[in-house]
Amino acid sequence: METVLEDEVYTCREVILPSLIPVVREPELERETGERRRGRDVLICIDHGPNSKHAFDWAIVHFCRLADTLHLFHVVSS
C-alpha cells in the first residue's frame, strides 16, 4: 500500500442513481383529453343472476371511463 501525503488534494463528484420507484399513471377515471374525449359505447349483457351482477360491477370498476356511454343488453325469452 502507498502512503497518502497530507498535501494531496482529492476531488469527488456526486453520482445520481436511477430511481427504482415505478412511475404510476393517473387513474383511468380522470377526464380524458385528445382523441378519446368523446368516450366509447360499452355494451354489457345482463340477466337476473349473480354472475351478471359481478360482470356489471367488474366492467364499471375496471373498464369504463367517465366519458363512456353504457348500454345494458337484456334478452327475455318468449
Residue 57 lies in a domain: yes
Position 59 confidence tier, pLDDT thresholds 50, 70, 90: confident
Number of structural domains (the chain) is 1
Give the ranges where 1-78 is alpha helix by DSSP (H).
50-62
pLDDT at 77: 78
Q: How far apart are alpha carbons 30 and 66 in whole angstroms?
A: 7
Residue 46 lies in a domain: yes
Q: How far apart are alpha carbons 64 and 7 in whole angstroms?
A: 69
Grid coordinates representing 41 are 359505447
Secondary structure of residue 62 in the 3-state scheme = helix
Secondary structure of residue 13 in the 3-state scheme = coil
Residue 15 lies in a domain: no
- Model pLDDT for residues 6-24, shown as the tens digit of each residue: 776 778 888 877 777 777 6
Residue 78 lies in a domain: no
Residue 11 lies in a domain: no
Residue 27 lies in a domain: no
Residue 16 lies in a domain: no
Its domain, for residue 46, covers: 39-73
Residue 63 lies in a domain: yes
Residue 36 in this model has a pLDDT that exceeds 60: no
